[in-house]
Structure 1
C-alpha cells in the first residue's frame, strides 16, 4: 500500500478535512457533526432506482436476453413498453440531477460536509451497480476485446466479430471490426474479468463494473491529500467527481475504463506531491497502460521530480527525466508482458476517429465548414474534418508544450497545468465522448472553485449526459431533443447559484430559501451541554 494511503495516514472524513470547523469547541474531545441531508440523499436514491428499472428496457440491453427476452418484463423492450422505460430513465435522471444540485447548494454553503457527500454517493451508486449498461454499449466492446486476447487473438489486430457467442454479438456494430484502442493493462483486466465470470455476459458486465469501481475508490481516497496540497475543499471535490451524474450515469452506469485511469492518475499525482517519485511515475504509467490519455500528465510529473532536486534547472531536469523514463519503461513493459499483447495499440489509437460529432471542437469546425460549402454543391465531409482535426492536434501540441514550460517550477503549479492540458486534450481530441470531461476534473476538482465555475460544470454535465440516448446511440442531431437538453443544462446551472431561477415563488407562494452563497462557516449556537462544558472549563 502506498505510504500516503497507509492506515496511519488514512483519509479523515470528519469536519476537520473540510476546513470548516477550525476554532469550534469540542464536546468531550469530539467535534460536532452536521446531520446528513437525508431528503436530498433519498431524492437521488429514488432517481437511481428509476434509472435501474428504466434501464431494463431502455439501456444497452442484450440482443438475446435470458432474463428480459421473455416473461412479463419483456414488454419493456418493445413498443409502448419501451417508451415507458425511456420515460422512467429520464425521470430518474432528472431526480438525480435535482438531488445533486441540492447537495451542491449545501456543500457551497458549508451545510453539508464530506461525510454527507460520501453517503449520497453510496446511495446513488448502489442501484446502478446491477443495472444494464446506461447511455453506452462500450462495456460489451471491453468484454469482446478481453475474449479475443483470452483466445489467443490479437485485440489490436482484429475486432470482436472474429469470434462468435453472446459477448461478440452484443458489441455495437461500429466496433465489431475495430481493434482495441486501449493499453495493455486494460487488456489484462478484461481478460481477468472473462476468466472470472466466464461467458455469462450479465455476470461479466457486473464484474467489470465492480473492477472499474476500484478507480473511483482510489480517486476518493486520494482526494483528501490532493485537496490539502492544492487548496480546495474536500466536500466540493467529492461532489464534483464522486456524486456527479457524470460519474453515476457514465463512469459507473456505463461503465467506462476512464474510471480506472483517473483513479490511478489521482493517486500517482498525490504520491508525487508527497515526494514519492518512483511510485508516482509508476502509477501514472499504469494509468497510461489503461488509456493513453494519462500520458499527457507524465511530462508534468518530471518537473515535479526535478523541483525536489538541487542544482541548475537543466541539470535537475536531466537527473529527473532519465529515472522517470526508466520507471515508465519498466512499468509499461511489465504490463505488456503480463497481458501477453503487443504494441499494436499505438496504431489502434486512431480507431475512434470514425466517430464524427460536434462535441469535439475541431470536428465541429470541420462539420460547419462542410455545411457551408455544401450549400453550393455536394462535397465529401472527410477532407474538411480531417484538416480541422489536424489543426486541433497541432494546437493541442502547442498548448501542451506551453503549459509544460510554465510548469517547470514543479509542485502544485505542475498539477494545475496538467489538469489544464487534460481538459484541452478532451476538447481538442478528434473524438470527444461525454465522460472525457472527467479527465481533467479528476485533478482540477482539488483546487479552489468559485460558485459560478461550479455552475458551469453542472450545466456541462447535464448537457453531456443528454447528448446520448439511454441505449448508447447519439442524440446530438435530434434538434428538438438537443434544445430540451440545453434548456435543462441552463436551468441546472442557474439553480446551483440562484434561488428559484424560474421565478415560481411568486406563482406558487413562498418557497423555502436555501443558502446559495459561499458563506464562511459559522459557529453554531451553544447547546445546553456545550454551555455547561464551557462553564466547567471556566
Structure 2
C-alpha cells in the first residue's frame, strides 16, 4: 500500500498529519527541514500586518508619511476600518502559518533552522511597522526624553514636556510616572540621543534595541534546553516564531523582550556554574522591569546546589554574595541612568487599568456584580481593591511555597521560577497580554506535550485579540470577544487535529458521489 493510501485509511499520527497537510513539500515526498510554503504564508500575513498597521495600528497624530495625501484616508472612517480588517487578516494568516509550523516541529519534520527561518521572515516586516496593538513605545520615548532633560520620570509624566513625542503618548500615561527600572530609563534615554525626536526613527531604533533581548533569548535556548530537557525546535517555536513575539514583543514593541532575554541568559549562566555573571544579568533584567526579581530567590537555590556542605550552609554561602552583587549592580544601573529609587513607588501605576484579564480584578468585578443585585450603593472600587488584595496574598503564598519546594536547586528550581513568573503575571492587579511571555522565557525549554502546546496556541490567539490594533482594549467588545474565543479554540484544535472543522470530508463526499 502506498504511503498516501495508508494516510487516508488511518487516523493520522503526527508524521502523517504533517504530510497530509502539505506543509512542506506539496505532497510530493518526505517533508524537508525548511518549510518554505509555511514560511511564505506567515510572511504574507506579516506583510498584511505591516500594510494594515499604516492606518489601523497606533499611528502618529501627525504622520509625515501619510500626511494629508490620498493615503491619509487609511487613518479615518471606513479607511481605518478597512486597514483594521487587513491587520486581522494578516494576523489570521500568521497564526495559520505558526500552527502549521508547530505541526512540523512536533512531527520532527522541521528543525531549528526551519523555525529560525520562519522567525526571521515573519519579523522582518514588523521592524518598520507602526506600533501594533499598543502605544506603549511612545511612553518609553517620553520617559527617556524626560530623563534626557534632567527631569525625574519617576515623579512626573511625559505631559511635562511638549513636542511630537509627548503628543503621541496615550492619554492614560500622559501624567503617569514610569513604572520601569533604571536600566530601561537609561536605554530609553540612549534611544532619544541616537534617534533624536523624529518619531518614526525613534520607534524603529527602540525596536531594534529591544530586539537584542530576543537575540539573547535565542542564544540561551540551546543551553537551557540541554539543562531542562526540552527540544530546541519546540522552544524556538514557542518564543521566537510565536504571534505573541511577532505581534506584541516586536510589533509593539515592549520592553519585556529585553527583560526576558537578560533573564534567560542569566539563568543559563547560573545553571552552568557561572554564578556571578548570571546573577549580574538577572539583576539587569530586574533593572529593566521589576518582575524579573521573582526569579532571583530561585536562582540562589541553584547557586547553593553547586556548593558543598549542609543545605543551610550552602544557602548562606550563596545568598550573601548574591545580595552584595545585586546591590552593586542595581546601584550601578541607577548611577549610570542618573535616576533614584522612585521607580519603586511608581510600580503601582499600571494598576489604574481595570480589566478582567487579571484574575484578582475579575474576582472583584464579579463580587461587585453580585453585590449590586442586593445593594444599590455597592462600591465598585472597594470590590476591585479587595480582589486585588486577595490576589497579592495568593501570589505571596505561591512564591513562598514554590521557593521552599525548590530548595534542592537544580533544574527544578528553574521550573518553579517559571511557575512563579506566570503566577506573577496572572495574579497581578493588571494583566496585559504580553505578560505571559515572562514565564515562557524559561518554561519553553522544558518538555511539552502536544496537548499542552495546543493550550498555548489558544491562549496566544485570545490574548493578542484582547486588544485592538490601535492599542485600545477590546475585551468589552463582546462580538469581537466571541470571534476571538472561537479563533483561539480553532487554533488550539488545529495543532493536534488535522482539519478540526471536518471541511475536507465536506468537500470529499460530494466529489465521491459525482465519481460513482
- Give the structure-1-normalised TM-score: 0.88
Higher relative contact order (CA 8 A, sep 6+): 1
Q: Supply the distance in 2 between the matched residues of 1:411 and 1:68 (Cα, whole angstroms).
A: 54
Report whether the alignment pairs 1:107 with 2:71: no
Larger mean Cα displacement after TM superposition, 60-69 or 140-149: 60-69
Report whether the alignment pairs 1:276 with 2:278: no
* Residues 103-502 of structure 1 aligned to structure 2 (within 5 Å): 103-376=101-374, 377-502=376-501
Cα distance per residue 1:495-523 (max 9 Å; x no partner): 0001111011111128xxxxxxxxxxxxx
The question of whether the paired residues in 2 share the 8 Å contact of 1:57 and 1:85 is answered with yes
Q: Supply the distance in 2 between the matched residues of 1:379 and 1:55 (Cα, whole angstroms).
A: 42
Q: Supply the distance in 2 between the matched residues of 1:330 and 1:35 (Cα, whole angstroms).
A: 46
Equivalent residue, structure 1, for 2:3: none
Q: Supply the distance in 1 between the matched residues of 2:310 and 2:505 (Cα, whole angstroms).
A: 66
Task: Rate the CA distance shift 1:63–1:254 in 2: closer, same or farther, 3 A.
Answer: same
Report whether the alignment pairs 1:509 with 2:504: no
The answer for unaligned runs of 5 or more in structure 2 is: 1-29, 510-516
Equivalent residue, structure 2, for 1:80: 78
Residue aligned with 1:289, SS = helix
Q: Supply the distance in 1 between the matched residues of 2:349 and 2:305 (Cα, whole angstroms).
A: 38
Residue aligned with 2:97, SS = helix
Displacement of 1:35 after TM fit?
3.8
Cα distance per residue 1:117-150 (max 9 Å; x no partner): 0000000000010000000000000000000000
Q: Supply the distance in 2 between the matched residues of 1:268 and 1:329 (Cα, whole angstroms).
A: 16
The answer for unaligned runs of 5 or more in structure 1 is: 1-31, 511-538
Displacement of 1:33 after TM fit?
11
Q: Supply the distance in 2 between the matched residues of 1:35 and 1:503 (Cα, whole angstroms).
A: 28
Residue aligned with 1:408, SS = coil
The question of whether the paired residues in 1 share the 8 Å contact of 2:302 and 2:410 is answered with yes
Residue aligned with 2:357, SS = coil
The question of whether the paired residues in 2 share the 8 Å contact of 1:306 and 1:316 is answered with yes
The question of whether the paired residues in 1 share the 8 Å contact of 2:368 and 2:378 is answered with yes
Residue aligned with 1:181, SS = coil
Q: Supply the distance in 1 between the matched residues of 2:387 and 2:78 (Cα, whole angstroms).
A: 43
Equivalent residue, structure 1, for 2:35: 37
Residue aligned with 2:288, SS = coil
Displacement of 1:378 after TM fit?
4.3
Equivalent residue, structure 2, for 1:69: 67
Cα distance per residue 1:127-184 (max 9 Å; x no partner): 0100000000000000000000000100000000000000001000000000000000
Displacement of 1:312 after TM fit?
1.1
The question of whether the paired residues in 2 share the 8 Å contact of 1:366 and 1:388 is answered with yes
The question of whether the paired residues in 1 share the 8 Å contact of 2:33 and 2:113 is answered with no
Moved over 6 A (4+): none
Q: Supply the distance in 1 between the matched residues of 2:503 and 2:240 (Cα, whole angstroms).
A: 31
The question of whether the paired residues in 2 share the 8 Å contact of 1:135 and 1:472 is answered with yes
Q: Supply the distance in 2 between the matched residues of 1:351 and 1:426 (Cα, whole angstroms).
A: 15
Displacement of 1:329 after TM fit?
0.6
Cα distance per residue 1:287-342 (max 9 Å; x no partner): 00000000000001110111111111111111110000011011100000000001
Q: Supply the distance in 2 between the matched residues of 1:386 and 1:432 (Cα, whole angstroms).
A: 15
Displacement of 1:216 after TM fit?
0.2
The question of whether the paired residues in 2 share the 8 Å contact of 1:34 and 1:113 is answered with no
Q: Supply the distance in 2 between the matched residues of 1:117 and 1:391 (Cα, whole angstroms).
A: 41
Larger mean Cα displacement after TM superposition, 119-128 or 300-309: 300-309
Q: Supply the distance in 2 between the matched residues of 1:160 and 1:509 (Cα, whole angstroms).
A: 60
Displacement of 1:65 after TM fit?
1.2
Q: Supply the distance in 2 between the matched residues of 1:463 and 1:366 (Cα, whole angstroms).
A: 22
Q: Supply the distance in 2 between the matched residues of 1:72 and 1:253 (Cα, whole angstroms).
A: 25
Q: Supply the distance in 1 between the matched residues of 2:31 and 2:411 (Cα, whole angstroms).
A: 31
- Give the structure-2-normalised TM-score: 0.92
Cα distance per residue 1:427-450 (max 9 Å; x no partner): 000010000010000000000000
Cα distance per residue 1:229-250 (max 9 Å; x no partner): 1000000000000000000000
Q: Supply the distance in 2 between the matched residues of 1:305 and 1:392 (Cα, whole angstroms).
A: 30
Cα distance per residue 1:58-111 (max 9 Å; x no partner): 000011111122112101001111111011000000000000000000000001
Cα distance per residue 1:396-445 (max 9 Å; x no partner): 01100011011111110110010000011100000100000100000000
In the alignment of these two chains, the number of paired residues is 480
Q: Supply the distance in 1 between the matched residues of 2:342 and 2:203 (Cα, whole angstroms).
A: 26
Task: Rate the CA distance shift 1:125–1:430 in 2: closer, same or farther, 3 A.
Answer: same
Q: Supply the distance in 2 between the matched residues of 1:50 and 1:289 (Cα, whole angstroms).
A: 35
The question of whether the paired residues in 2 share the 8 Å contact of 1:101 and 1:496 is answered with yes
Q: Supply the distance in 1 between the matched residues of 2:254 and 2:232 (Cα, whole angstroms).
A: 24
Q: Supply the distance in 1 between the matched residues of 2:31 and 2:265 (Cα, whole angstroms).
A: 28
Q: Supply the distance in 2 between the matched residues of 1:406 and 1:97 (Cα, whole angstroms).
A: 37
Residue aligned with 2:269, SS = helix
